[in-house]
Structure 1
Amino acid sequence: MSPAPSVLVIGGVGFIGRHVVTYLVENSLASEIRVVDKVLPHTAFFNKRQRDAFEKVEYIQKNMADQASIELAYTREDGSSFDFVFNVAAETKYSMNERFYEERIFLLSTRNAKEAAKRKVKCFVEVSTAEMYQSDKKPSKEDAKIKPWTTIAAYKYRAEEELKKIPGLNLVIMRPSMVYGEGATGGLASRLVCGRIYKHLDEEMKCLWSKDLKINTVHVLDVARAIWHVAVWYRDNDKTGKGPFVYNLSDSGSTVNPDGATDEVNDKHVGPWAELINKSGIKVTPLTPYVDQELLSNNALSIDGTKIVAETGFTYQVPEVTVEKLQEIIDDFKLNNLWPKDSI
């Protein structure tokens, strides 16, 4: 059996990153874990499991788009390289100035990948997005036509293409569909917030949902598991020099897309949500019902996530969205005093 690898997690404080770190720690998978992020853990609305996990890893606060910070983050006391590097860092806010995406997606990814190649990292996993495929009701496979429908996706794809050109980079690219789970503040979480607002307003929630436009999802635990799985698979099956490998991550469930949302609907949601938060005595919450304009276009996110199963033996533990999984998200927010009281 191969020794436990050392792991560098770039952007490990973010939504996906914190779940990756927690998964590695709770399952004792790595000999060393270093997390680098510009965000401090104690400001990131961690739950108890995540706080406990981060007590057992090395955390460094750095901007990983900066070359000097990158070199410091990759340097270990004994001079050796990290075995695996997981890049789960990127700008996730929509409708930002493109210079932010240039730095926080393209330059961050390419500079880190070049450093990983220089240091002969055994596997560099780049977490991208499935929002880059042309919208189609038929599930998109990895070779489907590329037509990014968000600016984030456009920069992610540009970064992917540049990474593929880097000599000596042991690269696996992951393209998840809509990621959900405990701590998610966008995606399905925004829909849950809207549902709570409509309950407060005593109205049927119908204006944000369409029966026709399909959006696939993937649970964040499966994303964390898949990142680890492909790195070990790459190392143990002597895939060096045989990539890059690109895999979608998507469950087999059929989730519907919010449709017909407008600025008027956003305005309707924001006021009641603020009222709910204030009445519950919540000072700060990362949750919002606001749906960004980039996400209001008529685009499906229908994704085929089976290639990773067929080629690497990965299995999804959460094959579809369930009421129980959605309730876990709400319960976690309640536990951390980020969700309105039921009595209001």
Structure 2
Amino acid sequence: MEEKPRVLILGGTGFIGRNLVHYLVSNNLTSKIRIVDKVMPPMAWLNKEHKESFSKVEFKHANLINSKAVEKVFEDEGGGFQFVINCAMETKYGQMESVYKEGILQLSMNCARAAAAHKCSRYIEISSGQMFSSSKTAVKEDHKVEPWTNLAKHKRLVEVELETIPDLDYCIVRPAIHYGIGDRRGLTPRLIIGAVYKQIKEKMKMLWTGSLKMNTVHVYDVCRAILHLCHHGNKGEIYHLVDKGDTTQGKISELVSEVFDINHDYVGTAMSSLAKLNFKSVAEDINEKHMMPWSEACQKDGIINTPLNPYLDQELLYDKHIHMDGTKIESTGFCYDRPSLTIDSLKEILDDYVEMGLFPPSLARP
């Protein structure tokens, strides 16, 4: 019987990282898991199930921007790690160029070089699905890239630089908008915005139209795909992770509206294009409209501290599509377990945050 692998998860307390830990632990798929992150588990807003999984693994505190710190987290008396998964990166939008250069490019290259030096069997780099903006056809991995956020631009630099590391056996995954338990920056801001419109008793209005492509993938499938590629992916290949639902802004808005029993509409292309003339101011006005009612709802329900908010950075309000073809990984034997976005999957996120005391229960109730 083949021995279970030893796995090193970099950025393990983040959204994908925590779910990957829980998936591996729950299914008893490893002989050892070491998590590395600059955020300590007690400070990471883990839910009850994730805390239980984290109690069964080894955690090391480190800032992976520091190459010496990276080297130390790879050292292990048990013989090293077969699989190294890099979930670590700067995830906030709207940051300065230098923040992404350090928190994405420098960090990822530190980790990749260390993985090569320690002769890991497979290194997985989590990249970004914001590499294309076309709406006409679902884009495959070999399509010309046009990264449209600063985060994605630096992730693309990482993709290119990985090719220069001798003896690194790696795969790259580009997830579409990923959602699920613990999500804070994928679909959760739109859930919170829906709750805000329930609070203020207004119709929820969005920029552009309902046809804007916002393809999705459940974090459970992201975790399954990561482990699958550790065993079955082709060296040096890029794989898109996107479900079969061809999710659009319209579908997301319909489901959010159903969750909170609100109405929604769209400003339209002409008015949205006009707003682009002073888009920074428009984005500030939109966020200001949402932030105050959210704060008031939290105070009303006694929520003093929560990492959740409805803020959407200006970059995420552009008319840029996420329209991806996720079939390449299926040719390796993978199949998606969560084929489309559903209202139940959104309610699952909501219910989890309510149980943790991080989302106002008065807005979550029908």
Does the 8 Å CA contact 2:6/2:82 hold for their aligned counterparts? yes
Partner of 1:247: 239
Tell me the residue number matched to 1:180.
Answer: 179
Give the aligned partner of residue 12 of structure 1.
Answer: 12
TM-score (normalizing by structure 2): 0.89
Aligned counterparts, 1:308-323, within 5 A: 308-310=329-331, 312-323=332-343
Amino acid at match of 2:18: R
User: Equivalent pairs: percent with the same residue?
Assistant: 44
C-alpha separation in 2, matches of 1:187 and 1:171: 26
| Partner Cα separation in structure 1 for residue 307 and residue 139 of structure 2 | 32
The structural deviation recorded for 1:118 is 1.3
CA distance in 2, matches of 1:340, 1:210: 29
User: What do the CA deviations read for 1:146-190 (whole angstroms, capped 9, x no partner)?
Assistant: 111000000000011000121110010000010101111122111
Deviation at 1:263, TM superposition (A): 2.4
Whether 1:325 aligns to 2:345 is yes
Aligned to 2:298: 277
168-177 or 264-273, which deviates more? 264-273
Q: Higher mean Cα deviation, 15-24 or 247-256?
A: 247-256
Contact map agreement 1:210 1:256 (CA 8 A) in 2 = no
Cα deviation, residue 256, structure 1:
2.3
Name the SS for the 2:145 alignment partner.
Answer: coil
- Secondary structure at the aligned position of 2:360 is classed as coil
Instruction: State the one-letter code of the partner of 1:315.
Output: C
Structure 2 unaligned spans of 5+:
254-265, 267-271, 273-281
Report the alpha carbon displacement of residue 114 of structure 1 after superposing the two structures with TM.
Answer: 1.0
* Mapped pair 1:342 → 2:348: no
CA–CA distance in structure 2, aligned partners of residues 284 and 175 of structure 1: 32
Counterpart in the other structure of 1:130 = 129
Q: Could you tell which deviates more after superposition, 202-211 or 224-233?
A: 202-211
**Which deviates more, 94-103 or 15-24?**
94-103
**Could you list the per-position Cα deviations for residues 38-58 of structure 1 after superposition, in whole angstroms to 9, with x for gaps in the alignment?**
001111110011000000000
Q: Distance in 2 between matches of 1:32 and 1:253?
A: 35
CA distance in structure 1 between the aligned counterparts of 2:333 and 2:39, rounded to whole angstroms: 34
Kept in 2, the 8 Å contact 1:179–1:220? The answer is yes
Kept in 2: contact 1:127–1:173 (CA 8 A):
yes
Conserved in 2, the CA contact under 8 Å of 1:11 and 1:36?
yes
Q: Per-residue deviation at 1:209?
A: 6.7
Q: Distance in 2 between matches of 1:209 and 1:51?
A: 40
1:130-279 to structure 2, matched below 5 A, reads: 130-208=129-207, 210-234=209-233, 243-257=235-249, 260=272, 262-279=283-300
Amino acid at match of 2:315: E
Aligned residue number for residue 39 of structure 2: 39
Whether contact under 8 Å (2:16, 2:219) holds in the other structure is yes
Report if the CA contact (8 A) 1:194-1:289 is conserved. yes
Equivalent-residue separation in structure 1 for 2:297 and 2:128 (angstroms): 33
TM-score of the superposition, structure 1-length normalised?
0.94
Matched position secondary structure for 2:36: strand
Give distance in 2, aligned partners of 1:97 and 1:191.
24
Q: Which amino acid is 1:324 matched to?
A: D
Contact 2:86 2:124 in 1 (8 A): yes
- Once residues 253 and 272 of structure 1 are traced to their aligned partners in structure 2, the CA distance between those partners, rounded to angstroms, is 32
User: Structure 2 CA distance, aligned partners of 1:196 and 1:208?
Assistant: 18
Count of residues paired in the alignment: 335
Structure 2 partner of 1:302 = 323
User: Partner residue of 1:89?
Assistant: 88
1:128-151 Cα shifts (integer Å, max 9, x gaps) = 011012433311110111111000
Taking the aligned partners of 1:129 and 1:276, their CA distance within structure 2 comes to 33
Deviation digits for residues 66-90 of structure 1, max 9, x if unmatched? 1111111000014x22100000000
**Alpha-carbon separation, structure 1, partners of 2:134 and 2:35:** 35
SS of corresponding position for 2:178? strand
Contact in 1 for aligned 2:122/2:171 (Cα 8 Å) = yes
Task: Give the Cα separation in 2 of the matches to 1:183 and 1:32.
Answer: 23
Partner residue, 2:258: none
* Cα RMSD after superposing both structures: 1.5
Q: Which amino acid is 1:72 matched to?
A: K
